Amino acid sequence: MPEVQQAQSFTSSLREDRSFPPPAEFAARAHIRSRAEYDAMYRRSIEDNEGFWREQARELDWFTEPTQVLEWNDPVAKWFGDGRLNLCHNAVDRHALGSRAGKMALLWEGEPGEVRSLTYLELYAEVQRVANVLKRYGVRKGDRVAIYMGVCPEAVIAVLACARLGAVHNVVFGGFAAQALADRMNDAQCKVLITQDSSFRRGQDVLLKAIADEALTRCTCVETVLVHRRSGHDVHMQEGRDRWLQDELKSAEAQCAAEPMESEDPLFILYTSGTTGKPKGLVHTTAGYGVGTLLTTKYIFDLHEEDVYWCTADVGWITGHSYVIYGPLLNGATVFLYEGAPNWPDVDRFWQMVDRHKVSIFYTAPTAIRAFMKWGADAVRKHTLSTLRLLGTVGEPINPEAWMWYHREIGHERCPIVDTWWQTETGSIMIAPLPGAVSTKPGTATLPFFGVEPAIVTKSGEPVPAGHGGLLVIRKPWPAMARTIFGDPERYKQAYWSEVPGCYFTGDGARQDEHGEFWLMGRVDDVLNVSGHRLGTMEIESALVAHRAVTEAAVVGRPDEMKGEGIIAFVSLGDHVEPTPGLKDELKKHVAKEIGALARPDDIRFTPALPKTRSGKIMRRLLRELAATGEVKGDTTTLEDFSVVAGLKEKDEE
């Protein structure tokens, strides 16, 4: 059982009492219009859980309607087991061949400023041709395809083309380094990689193909690399392996039927950080994920036909999968995509685009909101933002100050804010206010979504009284839950279904107040949340000890005003290695090279030894305290060598 950490930075919001009821105008046309309506539907969804999901599954278009709902063999779930469907058909064909043929599906702005759009009919044509190119290179149902791209329509098309064939996509965030990409392609045994020459970010070329080339030197499974020409940047093309996607498309057949998939056939693998050095490849399957993302998008973002919806996440994260691609497209929405940085060429880039493209729903991370606050309200006030009607946040707890700023400066006190709690593992949003029904408060994700039964418990599963912190668990399986860890079902069971008996263990601490609302307090395990990105301390430690100068490393988080958490590494060096400032820089660069810039430590502290228990376990609690406050007050009775802590403190005071 992981150590339960205290979320000190969060105590202030425990006394939050500002409450914002849904604006009357908003509620009047919302899908769920009152608290009473939410309460009734929620109660039904719990009391007759299977009946509820059976009914909701009808929102999808099935090739074979399912008769079964849930088959639960703790911890293996099967949802809608005997149904057949295809999610690309649901996200594209049924709109393109119906009333939404001419409706804008994707609207994209590149960082240099070019704009492209695709209607549902155009998306339908593109997806089929890309699927045919994949077929040409031997991709069949069940094969794994890696996607390493920036945010562009082709990334969305690549994902949908895989889904169309029943190939399992493995999208790797474009900010990950070569080794991280190679590890993920090897673990999933990907046959094909889809990438692009480069992508633009903050005026720079992100050299995706060059990084992929390096990754491919450590990877034997990939036979074919399809390269989308995005920037025209010069790249190396390996004869017989690498092919330009645009060239391949010229001769691609126009039609490609959507493969009928079993409900439980895998849709994708997405790697995320856990408490060991090895990232976990979470496997999501077809029908349950489709039902979960479709429904949450419809109700939580209160999606209507004319909305222009923008979720700023990269397609490489779960938020990109569920709320850039599947959720909105399954609903037939218009999705806005932006390639680059929020402050390029200027800090008002996002707000310019909101006005230019008439964005009505905007979903981002608290860390981005804190950056906007730092850049100042003047940049925002140059734009009307008059089309916005709903705002959302995801990825980390939002501090009340950022919430209020978002409400005032972006939402003009008119737009509800949905604070959405969920995880890579949950697939779809689990706790969030329905904006036409539930009053919002800065700092709480409020109430569970339909069919979701969260609880706050002790380590042994005992319920914790209202107002007290504990472990957040989910008591019932839900359709969009991850089914396993690719190649490691035992780890899946251990990590999620063994910590607290009979429940799904989230790894988060939370408390529930007397109104039943959930206040998230951050991770209770060795997972960091840096700018809304999830990173395992062990992953960073493994990268550090791979450096020849390092013998041992311990990584902890430290509260950070902008990023939520910063990364602090305590490092012991080999004999005769000089602890110089130059070496600190070198180690930071080394981590960025091994994992990606997102994992670069903010601070490295050299120490002759790390504090350990008698059984040899590193005492992270002490290190966390030291990193956060500069001193250690906690109980150190189990410490092997007290002088180590004294030494670390001295270092801190230097």
Query: Given the rule CB under 6 A, which residues bind ligand WTA?
Result: 272, 317-319, 394-397, 419-424, 445, 506-508, 520, 523, 529, 534
CB of 416 to ligand WTA, least distance (A): 15
DSSP summary character for residue 171: E
CB of 300 to ligand WTA, least distance (A): 11
Q: Is the dihedral of CA 335, 340, 343, 345 positive or negative?
A: negative
CB of 13 to ligand WTA, least distance (A): 11
Q: Which is nearer to ligand WTA, 224 or 272 (CB)?
A: 272
Tokens of 638: 């189990």
Which residue(s) pair with 180 in the sheet?
A: none
CB of 503 to ligand WTA, least distance (A): 15
CB of 388 to ligand WTA, least distance (A): 20
The answer to whether 504 and 516 are in contact (CB under 8 A) is no
CB of 398 to ligand WTA, least distance (A): 7
Q: Which is nearer to ligand WTA, 394 or 604 (CB)?
A: 394
CA angle 19, 23, 29 (to 5 degrees): 140
CA angle 360, 365, 366 (to 5 degrees): 115
Q: Which is nearer to ligand WTA, 119 or 319 (CB)?
A: 319
Contacts of 189 (CB under 8 A, 6+ apart): 144, 221
H or E element that contains 45: helix 35-47
Contacts of 9 (CB under 8 A, 6+ apart): 399, 559
Q: Which is nearer to ligand WTA, 285 or 423 (CB)?
A: 423
Determine the Cα–Cα distance for residues 529 and 564; give it in Å rounded to an integer.
7
The answer to whether 108 and 338 are in contact (CB under 8 A) is yes
Q: Which is nearer to ligand WTA, 344 or 497 (CB)?
A: 497
CB of 69 to ligand WTA, least distance (A): 26
Determine the Cα–Cα distance for residues 109 and 285; give it in Å rounded to an integer.
31
Helices (H) and strands (E) in the chain, counts: 22, 30
Maximum CA pair distance of the chain?
73
Q: Which is nearer to ligand WTA, 166 or 411 (CB)?
A: 411
CB of 292 to ligand WTA, least distance (A): 13
The answer to whether 159 and 189 are in contact (CB under 8 A) is no
CB of 366 to ligand WTA, least distance (A): 8
Q: Which is nearer to ligand WTA, 133 or 445 (CB)?
A: 445
The answer to whether 534 and 273 are in contact (CB under 8 A) is yes
The answer to whether 163 and 195 are in contact (CB under 8 A) is no
Tokens of 129: 């041709």
Q: Which is nearer to ligand WTA, 510 or 549 (CB)?
A: 510
Q: Which is nearer to ligand WTA, 185 or 394 (CB)?
A: 394
Q: Which is nearer to ligand WTA, 118 or 445 (CB)?
A: 445
CB of 419 to ligand WTA, least distance (A): 5
The answer to whether 158 and 181 are in contact (CB under 8 A) is no
Q: Which is nearer to ligand WTA, 319 or 572 (CB)?
A: 319
CB of 633 to ligand WTA, least distance (A): 26
**What is the bridge-based pairing of β-strands 266-272 and 280-285?**
antiparallel
CB of 508 to ligand WTA, least distance (A): 5
Q: Which is nearer to ligand WTA, 153 or 395 (CB)?
A: 395
The answer to whether 185 and 325 are in contact (CB under 8 A) is no
- Residues belonging to the chain: 654
What do you get for the CA distance between the two ends of the chain, in Å?
36
Q: Which is nearer to ligand WTA, 86 or 319 (CB)?
A: 319
DSSP string of 82-129?
T-EE-HHIIIIIHHHTTTTTTSEEEEEE-TTS-EEEEEHHHHHHHHHH
- Only one residue has tokens 């001419």, namely 102
Q: Which is nearer to ligand WTA, 57 or 394 (CB)?
A: 394
Letter string b/e over residues 135-156, b meaning 16 or more CB atoms within 10 A of that residue's CB: bebebeeebbbbbbbbbbbbbb
**Nearest C-alpha neighbor of 407 from the set 11, 9, 35, 23:** 23
**Nearest C-alpha neighbor of 66 from the set 81, 78, 53:** 81
CB of 295 to ligand WTA, least distance (A): 17
- Only one residue has tokens 């091994």, namely 594
Q: Which is nearer to ligand WTA, 442 or 611 (CB)?
A: 442
CB of 608 to ligand WTA, least distance (A): 34
- Cβ atoms within 10 Å, residue 17: 6
CB of 140 to ligand WTA, least distance (A): 30
Determine the Cα–Cα distance for residues 73 and 81; give it in Å rounded to an integer.
13
